Amino acid sequence: MKKISIAVFAILMASASFAATTGGPNDAVLKMFSVTFPQAENIEWFENTDHFLVNFKEAGILTKVSYDKEGNFMNSIRYYEGKNLPINVLSAIKKKYADKKIFGVTEMTSQEGLYYHIKLEDDKNWYTIKATPEANLELVEKYKKANN
């Protein structure tokens, strides 16, 4: 699962880094996007050889979505605050890491599934927790803060 998450992240970031703005996505991609995200703002399209990447905000959440040329969803990344986590995941974090503050959430979705990378902090350290929609939690990183 860790290899899958790294691969999805790498694909999305490579798309953003190397993609060039084009005349825009085809009708199939535009239709799927507009139906799925009718309230999207600040929309930016990029084209790669085999897919389109769209960056936008919806309800204050920064989102990146990849579609293949036929308009099929490939993967997405969303960045938001802890309060937007599903209640079961938020409750599990608050219970297990009661003395830590949620700094931010990266939600990753692909054909393989959905998971959350949650950045936590306390006075001395940064933590990255990987969570599943079922609220299974795994500590994947811990770093000392520079000022300690």
Cα separation, 95 vs 116, in Å, equals 17
For position 69, what pLDDT does the model report? Answer: 93
* Tokens describing residue 22: 């084009």
CA-to-CA distance for 144 and 139, rounded, in angstroms? 14
User: Would you say residue 102 has pLDDT above 50?
Assistant: yes
Stronger pLDDT, 56 or 147, i.e. the higher one? 56
Output the CATH code of domain 81-144. 3.10.450.360
Task: Indicate whether 124 pLDDT > 90.
Answer: yes
pLDDT tens profile 26-82: 999 999 999 999 999 999 999 998 999 999 999 999 999 999 999 999 999 999 999
Which CATH fold topology does 2-71 show? Nuclear Transport Factor 2; Chain: A, (3.10.450)
94: nearest Cα among 125, 60, 118, 126: 118
Chain position carrying tokens 């219970």: 95
Domain boundaries, the chain: 2-71, 81-144
For 50, 80, 91, 103, 118, the CA distances from 126, given in Å and listed in that order, are 37, 17, 20, 9, 10
List the Cα angle 17/45/5 in 5-degree steps.
Answer: 50
Q: What is the Cα–Cα distance from 53 to 77, expressed in whole angstroms?
A: 11
Whole-number pLDDT of residue 148: 60
Confidence of residue 147 (pLDDT cuts 50, 70, 90): confident
